[in-house]
Amino acid sequence: MAIGDTAGAFAAAEQARQTMAGLLADNPRSGDYQVMLSLSLNKVGDVQMAQGDLKEALKSYQDGLAIRDRLAKSDPNNAGWQRDLSVTYSRVGDVLRDQGNLTEALISYRDGLAIADRLAKSDPNNAEWQRDRWPMKRSAMS
């Protein structure tokens, strides 16, 4: 992606997605494999967004969101999984915004912001969590 090779980036992201899906099929309870599959889905979605394929990007992000939501609900005290869920809500919101579905985009941004706010309040000294709130606040307000 950094050098403008979206086709190559897509091939690499899709290969990673397929690899992680295969590993997860062999060990469906692995939280690590679930995290890696959702990360791969986000990377595929990122490339699809760059290529202008909003429909497929939304599907990739929503598939990743489903995994991240399941993980976050399974362990509400896992701050990393909570943050991942928040970030993915923001990505879904970006696609919905670009599709012109502003009502649904706002809902997605607000869902992500609620998690980011909760994390930021739980650890006021965590600069990353404090920073995470601002991009989403701007998106949710626009």
Q: Are 96 and 120 in contact (CB under 8 A)?
A: no
Angstrom distance (rounded) from CA 66 to CA 123: 26
Angstrom distance (rounded) from CA 110 to CA 93: 9
CA 137 centroid distance within chain: 16
Q: What pTM does this model have?
A: 0.85
pLDDT(100) > 80: yes
- The model's pLDDT over 30-79, given as tens digits with 9 standing for 90+, comes to 889 999 999 999 999 999 999 999 999 999 999 999 999 999 999 999 99
Domain boundaries, the chain: 6-141
Dihedral over alpha carbons 99, 100, 103, 108 (to 10 degrees): 30
Give domain 6-141's CATH architecture.
Alpha Horseshoe (1.25)
